[in-house]
Each structure stands twice: as structure tokens, then as C-alpha cells.
């Protein structure tokens, strides 16, 4: 007997179960919508499975390995430190599994229907969900597309067992003796740093004039200094030309300063950007417009030109950040429920989990001046902080950007230990419309790294206590 494909009706169909999609689905369900979420891969998307979370786990393994080798200045020496990398990978896998199973529990707890399959739009209110066995039609009132992005592949560096994307680099079975990283943005620099901490000899090849584009030179200089200490080589203003795979590794050819160079390694990691996953969805069937980069055009409520279909995350303009996707997911879900939510990106932080960590939120001094603000830039060094000294980690600074007329906090940058956590206070200050005086008058626990934010606020007010 042949069963007909009778359409299943849902209030909201969410396509993609990464940090944008699953958050959107949960918020939509909390607001009373009947929600179905679909992904062709595991719940959690790239971020939880092969991105943010496993990379931070590997970075932590690198930090622990570096610490285990001792600190002579602290009187700690170590001999014959060994790393069982298979155990490290097993632990990383457990971290991922715990989080992905947690996402499943949250979705089910909010009565979200979970489907595994690929989605193809038929029209503005209809989509087919297909797996290996069948195809089912869904009729939706509203839809949120959150399909994320994929690594860009360079034609002369086709991905293979030796030419890796970020997923491949995270799943190596052994620590490379030598590793070449093409592209020193935040993904390449983070993973390269992790392997340098694990003992790999790492060479970074970056086409731009500096690494970690988007962060100020004062900040990236600290990272380059740290990489040099680890024995890494950083080549900027270079063009990767090609790779020759050998039996045991690779030979990478690049051009720098009008001279062709070759470097040999066990693997080459290619991290030159990501492309939006907007092909093969049938977007044209739903009348959804994309730009020349494949990004979907949206308004301030994440609504596409098809007024019942929304798009969030890496497939819309802006930085490809997991927390941006989650934020947009909430906005889209609330817009569907007729709330007046809309995106405001001023207080959205950018973080690089390098050594030291880098974080930025709001305006930089340069950006603020370009926007027409008369601003003051107030810096306080980690080296003048008791907690940083006791951690033996004093490289770095915190900088507050305040408006001269009233001391309003409109930006901040942190380079140093725990910058990824410290940036939240500055983000909150911007979001809440706080001034430098508000931060300075807030009692911060002693001795903590958090005091550095208070100290920078006092610098802004012209009343620093712990700095001349």
C-alpha cells in the first residue's frame, strides 16, 4: 500500500539546529508556537560538534600541556611530560556529547519536534524534508532559516587526509611534529596556538598585513609575541601558491616579499574563511533574495523579503559568530510572535581564544572617531594588577572608549588572561548606557582581574589610584 505525502502543518519550521536554530526553536516554543526543527547533521551544528566547543577543549588541553612542562621562575620543573592524545580526543568527545545531548533534552522539554533530514523549499509556505528513505511535505506559517556556513576550499589546496579544514584539524589522531596554517584569522590562530602548546612546530601564512583581522594592532602584537615564544613562525603579506602531498606529509609553497618559499610539514590546515550554506535549499522557490556572496538579505527583525521567512546566523551579513546567531534567533522568534524585538549589534563582542586572549566590544577608538564621536581612550595594564601578577600572566591591557562630553562607555578592548570573560562587563555597560563613573563606583572584589575594568574607568575619570 502506498501512503500519500499528506502535508504536516506547523506554526514555525526552523531549518538548522546550530546555536542559532536551536535557540530560535526554544524561544519560539516558549512563546506558544508549535515548532519543528530540522537538521541533516547532529544537534548543535558546527559550533557544538566541530567548532567552538571542541576547539576550546583542544585549546585547554594545550594550556594544560604547556603548564605541565613546568615554570622555572615559579620553582616548578618537570621531566618526561607525555601526552596521550587519544585520551585527550576522547575527553574532547565527551564534552561535545554532553552538550549535544543537553540540547536534545532542552528541545524535547520545550515540546519542539526534532527531524533529521534535508530541507528544500517548494514555495513561501511549503518545504519538503527528505532523508535517505522518504520525503515529507510540511506547511508552515513561518520559517527561520539557520543553516550556518562551511569552510572555504582553495582550488590549489583541495581538502584531503593531509590538507585539513578546521574539522580535520580537530580530529587528528596524533600531534603533528610540524603544521602549516594557511590563514591567521581567529580559527587558524586558535587551532595553531593549541598545537603549538602541544609541541608542534607551527608556521602561519597570512595574506593580510597582520594576523587576526578586526583586532587592533596593539592587541595582535601581543599574540605574535606569544607565538614567537612558542617557537611558531608567522609570515604575513604572503600568498599560498600550492601544496604537494608526499607519503608522510606536505610541501607548501608560498610567495612573500616577491620570493617563493617552501615549507614542509605533516599537515596543512586551511582556514581562509567560511561560505554561507544557502545553496541547494530551493530559496528561489520561496522567492528569497540572496546577494553575490550567497548571503540572505534581512531587515532588523531578521525577516527576509518573503515576509513569513526569517534568516539568522552565518547566512546573513555580519560576523560569523555563534552568539550572534543565538541572539538573532531570539529576535526572529519574538518577531514572529509580534514582539517589537529587533537587532542591535553595538554591544556584540568578538573574542579570539589565543595566547593571550583578545576581546572587543562596541567601538574601537578609530571606529568611534570615524563615527563622529569625540572620545577618550583609557588604558590599564595587566602588569599593574595583583591577580595578574599572582597568575604569572601580566602581558596585556584593558582599554575603555568613553565619550568625552559625559563619560558614556561606547566600547572596550581587552588583551590578556580571561579577556573572553572580562569583556562581558564592558558589553553590559554599553547595553545599559553606563558611564565610566558607574563602573568606577562599582566595588570590585580584590584581588581579581575584574578590578582592571574599574581601574581603566578611573583612568577615564582622571583619578587612577594604581597608575601614575
Q: What is the pLDDT of residue 4?
A: 56
- How far, in Å, CA of 122 to CA of 442, rounded? 56
Cell of 110: 520545550
Give the DSSP H or E segment for 241: strand 238-245
Q: If DSSP states are collapsed to H, E and C, what string results for 21-78?
A: HHHHHHHHHHCCCCEEEEECCCCCHHHHHHCHHHHHHHHHHHHHHHHHCEEHHHCEEC
**Is the CA virtual torsion 327, 333, 336, 339 positive or negative?**
negative
Question: Boundaries of CATH 3.30.390.30 in the chain?
Answer: 356-461
Question: Boundaries of CATH 3.50.50.60 in the chain?
Answer: 8-150+275-336, 163-272
**Is the CA virtual torsion 200, 205, 211, 214 positive or negative?**
negative
- How far, in Å, CA of 333 to CA of 14, rounded? 10
Extended beta strands in 257-392, E state: 259-265, 267-270, 274-276, 309-311, 350-352, 358-362, 375-381
CATH classification for the domain delimited by 163-272, as one of 3.40.190.10, 3.40.50.11900, 1.10.1790.20, 3.50.50.60? 3.50.50.60
Query: pTM for the complete prediction?
Result: 0.95
71 labelled catalytic: no
Cell of 312: 539568522
Q: What is the pLDDT of residue 132?
A: 86
Q: Going residue by residue through the chain, which has 468 residues, state the pLDDT in tens, using 9 for 90 and above.
A: 345 578 999 999 999 999 999 999 999 999 999 999 999 999 999 999 999 999 999 999 999 999 998 889 999 999 989 999 999 999 999 999 999 999 999 999 999 999 999 999 999 999 999 998 889 999 999 999 999 999 999 999 999 999 999 999 999 999 999 999 999 999 999 999 999 999 999 999 999 999 999 999 999 999 999 999 999 999 999 999 999 999 899 999 999 999 999 999 999 999 999 999 999 999 999 999 999 999 999 999 999 999 999 999 999 999 999 999 999 999 999 999 999 999 999 999 999 999 999 999 999 999 999 999 999 999 999 999 999 999 999 999 999 999 999 999 999 999 999 999 999 999 999 999 999 999 999 999 999 999 999 999 999 999 999 988
Q: Which of 396, 429, 433, 392 is nearest to 412 (CA)?
A: 429
- How far, in Å, CA of 183 to CA of 102, rounded? 33
Q: What is the pLDDT of residue 25?
A: 98
Q: Which residues pair with 378 in a beta bridge?
A: 400
| C-beta separation of 218 from 87 below 8 A | no
Cell of 105: 533534552
**Is the CA virtual torsion 359, 365, 369, 375 positive or negative?**
positive
Catalytically annotated residue among 71, 339, 446, 466: 446
Q: Which of 179, 188, 243, 232 is nearest to 213 (CA)?
A: 188
What is the CATH code for 356-461?
Answer: 3.30.390.30
Q: Does domain 8-150+275-336 have CATH number 3.40.50.720?
A: no
Q: What is the pLDDT of residue 247?
A: 86
Q: What is the pLDDT of residue 1?
A: 36
- How far, in Å, CA of 60 to CA of 8, rounded? 45
Amino acid at each position: 500500500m502506498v501512503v500519500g505525502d499528506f502535508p504536516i502543518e506547523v506554526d514555525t519550521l526552523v531549518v538548522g539546529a546550530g546555536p542559532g536554530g536551536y535557540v530560535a526553536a526554544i524561544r519560539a516554543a516558549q512563546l506558544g508556537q508549535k515548532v519543528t526543527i530540522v537538521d541533516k547533521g547532529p544537534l548543535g551544528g558546527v559550533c557544538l560538534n566541530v567548532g567552538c566547543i571542541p576547539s576550546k577543549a583542544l585549546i585547554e588541553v594545550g594550556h594544560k600541556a604547556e603548564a605541565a612542562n613546568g615554570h622555572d621562575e615559579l620553582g616548578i620543573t618537570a621531566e618526561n611530560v607525555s601526552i596521550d592524545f587519544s585520551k585527550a580526543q576522547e575527553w574532547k568527545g565527551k564534552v561535545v556529547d554532553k552538550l549535544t545531548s543537553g540540547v536534545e533534552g532542552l528541545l524535547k522539554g520545550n515540546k519542539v519536534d526534532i527531524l533529521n533530514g534535508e530541507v528544500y523549499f517548494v514555495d513561501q509556505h511549503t518545504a519538503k524534508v527528505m532523508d535517505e528513505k522518504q520525503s515529507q511535505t510540511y506547511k508552515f506559517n513561518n520559517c527561520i532559516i539557520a543553516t550556518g556556513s562551511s569552510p572555504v576550499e582553495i582550488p590549489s589546496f583541495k581538502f584531503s587526509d593531509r590538507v585539513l579544514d578546521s574539522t580535520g584539524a580537530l580530529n587528528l589522531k596524533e600531534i603533528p611534529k610540524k603544521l602549516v596554517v594557511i590563514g591567521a584569522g581567529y580559527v587558524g590562530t586558535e587551532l595553531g596556538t593549541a598545537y603549538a602548546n602541544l609541541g608542534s612546530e607551527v608556521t602561519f601564512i597570512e595574506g593580510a598585513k597582520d594576523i587576526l583581522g578586526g583586532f587592533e594592532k596593539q592587541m595582535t602584537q601581543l599574540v605574535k609575541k606569544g607565538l614567537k615564544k612558542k617557537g611558531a613562525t608567522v609570515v604575513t603579506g604572503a600568498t599560498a601558491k600550492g601544496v604537494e602531498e608526499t607519503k608522510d606529509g606536505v610541501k607548501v609553497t608560498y610567495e612573500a616579499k616577491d620570493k617563493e618559499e617552501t615549507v614542509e610539514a605533516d599537515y596543512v590546515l586551511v582556514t581562509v574563511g567560511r561560505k554561507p550554506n544557502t545553496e541547494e535549499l530551493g530559496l528561489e522557490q520561496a522567492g528569497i533574495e540572496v546577494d553575490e556572496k550567497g548571503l540572505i538579505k534581512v531587515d532588523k527583525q531578521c525577516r527576509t523579503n518573503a515576509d513569513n521567512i526569517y534568516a539568522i546566523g552565518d547566512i546573513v551579513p555580519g560576523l560569523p559568530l555563534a552568539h550572534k546567531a543565538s541572539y538573532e534567533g531570539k529576535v526572529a522568534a519574538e518577531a514572529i510572535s509580534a514582539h517589537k524585538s529587533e537587532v542591535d549589534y553595538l554591544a556584540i563582542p568578538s573574542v579570539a581564544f589565543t595566547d593571550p586572549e583578545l576581546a572587543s566590544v562596541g567601538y574601537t577608538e578609530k571606529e568611534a572617531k570615524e563615527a563622529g564621536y569625540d572620545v577618550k581612550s583609557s588604558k590599564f595594564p595587566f602588569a599593574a594588577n595583583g591577580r595578574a601578577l599572582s597568575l604569572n600572566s601580566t602581558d596585556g591591557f584593558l582599554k575603555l572608549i568613553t565619550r568625552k562630553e559625559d563619560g558614556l562607555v561606547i566600547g572596550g578592548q581587552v588583551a590578556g588572561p580571561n579577556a573572553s570573560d572580562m569583556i562581558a562587563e564592558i558589553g553590559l555597560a554599553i547595553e545599559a548606557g553606563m558611564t565610566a563613573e558607574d563602573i568606577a563606583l562599582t566595588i570590585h572584589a580584590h584581588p581579581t582581574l575584574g578590578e582592571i575594568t574599574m581601574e581603566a574607568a578611573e583612568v577615564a575619570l582622571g583619578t587612577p589610584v594604581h597608575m601614575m
